[in-house]
Amino acid sequence: MLALCLGAAAPDPVTVNVTMIDYKFVPDHLTLRHGVAYRLHLENHGKETHEFTAPTFFATAKIDNPGVLNRERSEIVMQPGDAKDVFLTPGKPGTYDLRCADHDWNGMVGGITVQ
């Protein structure tokens, strides 16, 4: 009964896919709506380890599975071949920095807009 109620209350999250390659996010800019539940699906198709680093964005979002993030909740570390989902609901509208902490020097940067 409890499971049924929870299932009825929670709408299906909207899936957003981001692929990481050497050295880029595809796409490199995300536009999300505040208060909408998302499944952010990340895949690393590169040969190097990449990070989805967005500390301010993560700090303002409600994250349902924070265990997928690092301990500081600033990023998601992706080994080559990794696929990870983070379930979150963006909070405050604004523009947020997105970068790969390892390769921002090499232009692996992007952005997240929350409307």
Interface with Cu ion (CB under 5 A): 50, 100, 102-103, 108
- List the Cα angle 6/71/81 in 5-degree steps: 80
Which residue is associated with the tokens 């604004």? 94
CB of 100 to Cu ion, least distance (A): 3
CB of 11 to Cu ion, least distance (A): 33
In the complex with Cu ion, the residue whose CB is nearer, 90 or 110, is: 110
Please say whether the beta carbons of 110 and 33 come within 8 A.
no
How many Å apart are CA 17 and CA 94, to the nearest integer?
Answer: 20
In the complex with Cu ion, the residue whose CB is nearer, 38 or 99, is: 99
CB of 115 to Cu ion, least distance (A): 27
Q: How many CA atoms does the CB half-sphere of 37 hold within 13 Å?
A: 8
Where does 1-115 have alpha helices with state H? 2-9, 55-60
CB of 98 to Cu ion, least distance (A): 12
In the complex with Cu ion, the residue whose CB is nearer, 85 or 104, is: 104
In the complex with Cu ion, the residue whose CB is nearer, 42 or 114, is: 42
